Structure 1
Amino acid sequence: MQDNDAGAETIRGYLTALLRQLWEHGENFGGKRPFGNSGWEYDLYRTLAGAGLIEATLDDEGFLDTCDDRTGHELIAQAITALGATGQSA
């Protein structure tokens, strides 16, 4: 992953940091700005686009201009499901 507010190197690390924020903040969790900025989903979409998994265009500064956020959303949902598929019970 490129530089992001979660400080994550991978999508797995990003999702883990997001869950940690939810757990630590409980009912005060701010889903709009979990790491201080809005639009955090696009950190994930930019990574998917860089891997060629979704179509996207970048602006002059390297930020997403347009992207297939529908497919990106589905892929992140699949990644979340895979995180829980360890075969271990709590």
Structure 2
Amino acid sequence: MNDQDIGRQVLDVAVEDDDSGATTIRGYLCALARAVWDEGEGFSGKRPFGNSGWQWDMYRALVKANFIAGTFDEYGGLDEADTEKGDELIAAALRVLAAPQEAS
């Protein structure tokens, strides 16, 4: 599977219980870009949607979808995750978003 295929699959991974209101990683990344645009200089990379730890929302989704290794605590919170691999997968997803769309 090539980088674009993986990136497309990552974009479609379901996201739950995040502060962006998105239902997929694609939607989350778009909401994040929108927040950067709307807030301009006031954008908080530490708390883009009001809470810190926002990258862990993406890692949680990737662990649940079996894209990266990770463990959950007894309350269902993400305890550990392969963040290095998660970052690589999000980067692949961003490359797909940035690529020109093919004509259908």
* Interval containing the TM-score (normalised by the shorter chain): over 0.9
CA shift, 1:62, in A, is: 1.0
2:44 is aligned with 1:30: yes
From 20, 24, 35, the equivalent of 1:21 is 35
Aligned counterparts of 1:9 and 1:86: Cα–Cα separation in 2: 23
In structure 1, the partner of 2:97 is: 83
Corresponding position of 1:7 = 21
Q: After TM superposition, list the pairs within 5 Å mapping 1:29-68 onto structure 2.
A: 29-68=43-82
Letter in 1 for 2:92: Q
TM normalised by structure 1 equals: 0.93
Structure 1 portions without partners, runs of 5+: none
* Deviation for aligned residue 1:84: 1.1
Give the Cα–Cα distance (whole angstroms) in 1 for the partners of residues 53 and 75 of structure 2: 16
**Runs of 4+ in structure 1 over 2 Å off:** none
Q: TM-score, normalised by structure 2?
A: 0.81
Distance, in Å, in 2 between the alignment partners of 1:15 and 1:79 is: 9
Between the two proteins, the alignment pairs up a number of residues equal to 88
Aligned Cα root-mean-square deviation (Å): 1.1
Structure 2 gaps of 5+ residues are: 1-14
Higher relative contact order (CA 8 A, sep 6+): 2
Q: Identity, % of aligned pairs? A: 53
